[in-house]
A = this chain, B = another copy of it.
Amino acid sequence: MNILLKILTIIVLLTALSEPLTAQQEAVKHRTPGEIVAQSTAQDWRTPAPENTLYVQLPGGTVVLELAPQLAPLHVDNTRKLVRDGVFDNTSFYRVIDGFVAQGGPQGDAPPQVKTGQVTIAAEFTRDTAQHPVDFVPLDAADGYADSVGFVDGFAAARTRDGAQTWAVHCYGALGMGRANESDSGGTELYVVIGHAQRYLDRNTTVFGRVLDGMDVLQKLDRSSALSGAQTVGSSNRIVRIRVGSDLPPEERRPLQVMKTNSDAFRALMMARKNRRGEWFVHAHNHIDVCAVPVPVRLAADTNTQAASE
């Protein structure tokens, strides 16, 4: 286009920008997280593939996990096999430390009896996303632990500046794999973050999923506050069984939906959380940490949306 047209365009744009916002525009701009979720449309949500969900049955209720094969395919595949081998049935959450993690699975001197899975699996501390691209939606906020943070298909994640390596991070509810000193020694030690985000563990263990539903069940487990992480095995900490969602009869699956993290609704949510406004707030930080943006979960056709606390 010619220079005159360019100048005209700029003038029009500047005029538009300098116009005061109408009340309606203001309202749209300052929607609360709750309003954004309430105003979202069906296209903003997805239903996790049943084969990527695990149902962890405890005496106190069921915890539903979503696995992240796009970030840790070996761990997802192996855990699914171990679940089908029954390795986690009749085990326990044997290490539950308040504000830290709940860790569970088989214990004892004899290695668990596996049929199709492996007791230990190669570490996946990061994923080679130069070779295996993922849909990384950046959070526009600085992070102390990584070059860049954001979300991959519902999982809080981080990546190197060049995007060549990506990894899921230790937010509240993250599912990780415990291990011994050797990097490739994990395989059966499932853990979930039950307190403040444990970001220092990023890239030291493999995070390969997160809790979609049932954090309240984990929070009721017997626990230790001891520095040593003294092992607490109470009857309430028993793992009755774990099942892959796709192995359950459809009527036993929970109709959970997760907000798409590449949706307009979620982008609006990130912005709203970065600068909370409205009558109540007096200080907007122009910042949010990645673990303070819970990815909303809801029951299909329900407005009782979870994991998006005020």
Contacts and interface: CB of A to CB of B under 8 A. Distances in A.
Interface of A: 33-34, 37, 97-100, 125, 141-145, 171-173, 181, 183, 194-200, 202-204, 213, 215-216, 219-220, 223, 225-229, 273, 276, 279-283, 285, 287-289, 291-292, 294, 296, 304-310
Contacts of A292: 196-200
5 contacts: A99-B294, A183-B282, A195-B195, A196-B291, A227-B296
A7 B139 CA distance: 50
Q: Could you tell me the dominant secondary structure of chain A's interface residues?
A: loop
Among the interface residues A33, A99, A171, A183, which one has the most CB atoms of the partner chain B within 10 A? A99
Contact of A144 (B142, B195, B200, B305): B142
* Tally of this chain's copies: 2
Contacts of A97: 309-310
Contacts of A307: 99, 225
Given A98-B309, A99-B294, A125-B283, 4 more contacts: A34-B228, A99-B172, A203-B282, A204-B281
A101 to B, nearest CB: 8
B229 A225 contact: no
Contacts of A145: 285, 287
A171 B197 CA distance: 10
B216 A289 contact: no
B200 A172 contact: no
Given A98-B215, A98-B216, A172-B99, A227 B308 contact: yes
Given A310-B97, A310-B100, A223 B219 contact: yes
A204 B282 CA distance: 6
Nearest to A193: B196
Contacts of A173: 99
Contacts of A196: 171-172, 195-197, 291-292
Contact of A273 (B171, B183, B200, B306): B200
Nearest to A221: B219
